Structure 1
Amino acid sequence: MLGGGWPGNQWSEIIGTESSGKTTIAHKTIAANQTADPEFTTLWIAAEGYDQEWAEELGVDTSRVLVHSTNSMEEAYTAMLDAAESRAVDAIVLDSYPALIANDENAKEMDEHTISAGARVTGKFFRKSGAVTKRSLAAEERPLLGIVINQWRDKIGGFSPNGITPKTSPGGNAKNYAYYVRLEVARTEWIDEKRPGKGIARCGQVIKLKTIKNKAAAPQQVASIRFFFADSPSGFKKGAYDSAAETVAMGVLYGVITKAGSWYSFGEQRWHGEASMAETITEDTDLRAQIDVEVHAAIAKAAA
């Protein structure tokens, strides 16, 4: 849905409501890059607390994550600019923008008003970041991944069609022009599973992803991920995606798996319903590996 992954040498935004999975997506992104590259290093600007245990549950090697704790906006942005210019890290994550406070605002008393202090500083950051995130087109340089986590707010006084509350994001409008990708994260449903003799266990959630802006590929692309925040009776571990369901979806997308109505088929095998096929390939790792190989081959062929 991103058109080949997060863009290099650009800033991207992950935005959503509280507890929708924004930080989880950032952690899983870092973990995937660390798996692919044993030297991949991240600067994590922790405007909120950095939960090392949770990051490790999500597959992050925290020994390769440099954590800078601050809620000072100017300090955070300076650290991000310095890290980008130094080329000392491969990724910079700010978690999260709403927890930052500009110095002008921080210097005032609670009953004193400050208008758009954060937006002004944020606009300045993006204007300054262009030079330090550039990489040579001639020499080989490692690209930089930049992610800023943000949170929706109700837009007071905005037009409300069909009773839907309009949304806005803190930080002003300048940042929206600067971001190369804006990825919206939302929780659409809970994952509840039966525990034999112990009732129902709530062990995960379905995370819906939508590219509300993408300058590298088609925008308005939508995907869903089944994520488990606790060990599930069906065997999924805490911090894991339902990768079997993802394999089925990618197989259908690239023509490796045939879908006819509610029936799915691969080779001579058939399943009634996606859940049935996903359950089979979760248990049959050889079958899943075969499907994965064919999916990767189809992806490579499509990209050629």
Structure 2
Amino acid sequence: MASAADIAKSLAAAIGANDEETTVSQFLPSGFPPLDHASNSSWDLGAFPVGRMIEIAGPPSSGKTALATAAMSGAQAMGGIAGFMDHERSFSVKLAPKLGLDTTPGLFTFKTPKTFEESLQICVVAANHVRQNKLIKKDAPICWVFDSLAAMVPRSAYYEMKDGKIKGVKSLEDRNMNDNTALARATSNAFPAFAQHCEDLGICAIFLNQIRQDLNVKFGDPRKTTGGNAPAFYFSQRLWLSASQIKKGTDIIGMEVTGKYMKNKIARPFQTASWRFMFQEDGTGKFDRQRSLVEFLETNGILTKGKPGFVIWDGKQIAKEALARQIESEGEKGFKSLMSLLPANYEPPVVVEADTEIDEDADIAA
């Protein structure tokens, strides 16, 4: 009988040596340490894995696009580039710089593809061109955002108007029940190869998605996302958001967002993080990471509670909102002072809860 070493040598001659294990070595930042920790058990690595496909799904105005923009700007800061496929026709290139994104052509690609297949092809062609021509450093990440999977039209279901008449693969009158599953069949066909392209080309592909209610589910979590079953297998992470309104008087000024990793092949799944997403006058949204981190530190007993709405800081009681604004005025130095309080060995509390539906109407005081 041959030894293991002899078998390995013989097999290497026939099929080559064993391949290296596929691992994630880079993450794009979310800007909020508890979300980074929920993603990969680290406060400062970042949240979004490079070389993988991920999903961010949630209700309207919960900050999905803002999270994706943070990832894109993070990729640029690391010497890479970003791209945005606007299938919903709602992204504002003019306002994006306020969230830290550099929209200079070359560093940022903006496209409005007509079909699902065209969108994926643009991403792969662009990334392959950049890598082959060494336009960025080898280890610089590429972040590509698709907004949203629910709005992506499969080629088989696409139609257009020309000279006042419907042109394309199929007219409205010819559509049937098979067209309702066209996107599911398209993702099933395309995602296996696309996942490999993401790994080979160093792409963090972020698919924004919508959460729907499955009326056939009588017990358990009735939520589902669009795109069929394939996304559940090929996304390395699925971050689902729920949100409650933050009100000041009768005005809705923001959302208290909770993100839960429904799937995570990087670290332990089902971890959560909560943060405040505040609406701005110009129509943008802003992560209030200072107030959100103060809330996290208080909830976990790292900051001592004072009277209602207050915590102990430098031996004195201070309102949580006042402390957050003080930290904000100190810039990154102030935020790092909060981060320094985060424990090196943090174990999230074990919470046993029943599956619940998204509550978009609950109110939280400002």
Normalised by the size of structure 1, how large is the TM-score? 0.77
Question: Unmatched 5+ residue regions in structure 1?
Answer: 136-141, 194-199
Q: CA deviation at 1:83?
A: 3.2
Q: CA deviation at 1:127?
A: 1.0
Give the whole-Å Cα distance in 1 for the aligned partners of 2:114 and 2:331: 48
Give the whole-Å Cα distance in 1 for the aligned partners of 2:299 and 2:285: 26
Which of 26, 46, 61 is matched with 2:102 structurally? 61
Shifted more, 167-176 versus 244-253: the winner is: 244-253
Rg bigger for which structure?
2
Does the Cα contact within 8 Å between 1:154 and 1:168 map onto a contact in 2? yes
Letter in 2 for 1:122: T
Which of 160, 169, 178 is matched with 2:234 structurally? 178
Map 1:18-37 → 2, pairs under 5 A: 18-34=60-76, 36-37=77-78
Q: CA deviation at 1:87?
A: 4.7
- CA RMSD between the two structures: 3.2
Letter in 2 for 1:125: A
Which of 233, 249, 269 is matched with 2:316 structurally? 269
SS of aligned partner of 1:240: strand
Distance 1:167 1:10, change over 3 A: same
Normalised by the size of structure 2, how large is the TM-score? 0.65
Q: CA deviation at 1:9?
A: 0.4
SS of aligned partner of 2:226: coil
Distance 1:86 1:125, change over 3 A: farther
Distance 1:192 1:270, change over 3 A: closer
Distance 1:254 1:286, change over 3 A: farther
Distance 1:19 1:179, change over 3 A: same
Give the whole-Å Cα distance in 2 for the aligned partners of 1:223 and 1:179: 19
* Partner in structure 1 of residue 186 of structure 2: 121
Q: CA deviation at 1:238?
A: 5.6
Identity of aligned residues (%): 22
Which of 48, 52, 58 is matched with 1:6 structurally? 48
Letter in 2 for 1:295: M
Give the whole-Å Cα distance in 2 for the aligned partners of 1:238 and 1:144: 26
* Partner in structure 1 of residue 80 of structure 2: 40
Map 1:211-226 → 2, pairs under 5 A: 211-226=261-276
Give the whole-Å Cα distance in 1 for the aligned partners of 2:267 and 2:84: 27
* Partner in structure 2 of residue 94 of structure 1: 146
Does the Cα contact within 8 Å between 1:191 and 1:206 map onto a contact in 2? no
Distance 1:201 1:159, change over 3 A: closer
* Partner in structure 1 of residue 359 of structure 2: none
Does the Cα contact within 8 Å between 1:20 and 1:187 map onto a contact in 2? yes
Q: Deviations over 1:50-99 (max 9, x none)?
A: 31123223222211320121131111121123234345561011011122
Q: Is residue 203 of structure 2 the alignment partner of residue 144 of structure 1? A: yes
Question: Unmatched 5+ residue regions in structure 2?
Answer: 1-37, 132-140, 159-168, 347-366
